[in-house]
Amino acid sequence: MCNEYMDSPEEALATVEAHLLENPDDASAWNMKGVLQAQKEHFGDALRSFDRAISLDPGLSAAHSNKGRVLMALGPEKASEALRSFETALKLNPDDVRILHDKALSLRALGRSEAELECYKRLSELVGAEWGVWLRKGDIELELGLFDSALNSFDRALELKEDLTSAYVHKAIALTMLEQFGEALKSAKKATKIDPRNIEAWLILGDVNIRAEKYKAAMKALERASDLDPTDASVQNTMGMVCYKQGRLKDAVRYLRLAVGRRRNYTTALRNLGLILMELEEWSEAKEVLTRLSSVVTDDPDVYDALATAHARMDYFCPAHEAWEKARKLYKRKGNQNDAERVTVLGRAARINCSRQKKALKEKKEREKMQRRFSNRHALRRKKMK
């Protein structure tokens, strides 16, 4: 939306309102009034002005598109309504590049990637010299798993603007998914040379090296990413998993502890840390980590299964039985009958041992109670003898 007046928005709005007093049926003036109101962030008034313009002239494409833009400014919950406005505007003016961009944005807000891709295909035909169109088109294709098409789009973007770091980074991802690791490494390295301070470029370089099983090179890239942002827990998590793949389990734990220290409810790192601690048979810490994970991830049977195992290995059979029972219900809900039967057997054994522990604890308390009574009587007898 643009202001055609040289005056300030307030003066321009006053001029339009004066015009409308003399010409109340001027749809274009109502549209301009809405534009000026939107500039002042008076969105409710702006929408009413656009609706008045549309009622006077349903074929006024600008009023439909401007209404859609105001609706988008109100938040993603208005994206569906905005999309209808953009679609109406495009029926009136099918090849309007700006409205096509607006429609694509509303589709993105709605998570409709395939429909958004169709918009960018049309935009690439209309404004094929705009690198941003090809970059976004490639990103959507990458998201949809259309890796060959994404590569073509990224290459086209790079022909138009050769220093596009994000195009090289996302091209590396597409090449990695196609298992073309050599080309992926070239693309990721090119990104780090263009922008050495781009953390995403170093992360992707690390990821490509991991997939290519070049773990030393992966750690170097990840260390560089960590230097750029020492607070990024995802870097520490990835470094931990590189150490794990190298068989350096204690180093893996060190990095993963840093990750969950920096982001308390980082579920991926908590899961990795818990499972590696179980491999190291560090059951006490594993139990604490998996308990923390289960408080965040409440619908994953594997989490409760692992937590129950940690409890059982520490002879805490009552909480082990409870965790396996939760795992059984979740496995059954997910249709995983084999695992549901497996944890049922484990849970039954834990319940038996839990009962034994409760009985033993009760007997111990009774013995302690009897001992206290005996001690008290003995003390009283000695007192009387004095």
pLDDT along the chain (386 residues), means of 10: 59 94 96 96 96 97 98 96 98 96 98 98 97 98 98 98 97 97 97 97 96 96 96 95 96 97 95 98 97 96 97 96 97 96 96 92 76 62 58
> In this structure, which amino acid lies at residue 206?
G
Cα gap 92→77, rounded to integer Å: 25
Q: Which residue has the tokens 């259309």?
A: 146
What pLDDT shows up at residue 3?
45
Rounded to whole angstroms, the Cα distance separating 123 from 194 reads 28
90-96 long-range contacts (CB < 8 A, ≥24 apart) are: 92/59, 92/61, 92/64, 93/61, 95/126, 96/61, 96/65
Residue 101 makes CB contacts below 8 A (sequence gap 6+) with: 119, 123
pTM of whole model > 0.85?
no
What's the chain's length in residues? 386
pLDDT at 362: 82
Crossing angle between the packed helical segments 199-211 and 165-177, to the nearest 10 degrees: 20
Q: Closest Cα to residue 168, out of 143, 197, 141, 139? A: 139
| pLDDT recorded at residue 371 | 74
Count the neighbouring beta carbons within 10 Å of the beta carbon of residue 177. Answer: 14
What is the predicted pLDDT for the residue at 361?
Answer: 81
> What is the DSSP-derived secondary structure letter of residue 2?
-
Share of the chain residues as helix, strand and coil, in percent rounded to the nearest 5: 80, 0, 20
Q: Strand runs (DSSP E) across 151-198, as ranges?
A: none
- Supply the pLDDT for residue 2: 44
Q: Domain 1-106 is of which CATH architecture?
A: Alpha Horseshoe (1.25)
Token digits of residue 119: 């918009």
Q: Answer whether 343's CB lies under 8 Å from 324's CB.
A: yes
Three-state SS at 326: helix
Of 284, 291, 247, nearest to 270 by C-alpha is 291
* Positions of CATH 1.25.40.10 in the chain: 1-106, 128-230
Does 128-230 carry CATH code 1.10.3720.10? Answer: no
Report the C-alpha gap between 117 and 140 in whole angstroms.
6
In whole angstroms, give the CA distance from residue 11 to residue 308: 71
Rounded distance between C-alpha atoms, residue 306 and residue 369, angstroms: 38
Task: With beta carbons less than 8 A apart as the criterion, state whether 320 and 308 touch.
Answer: yes
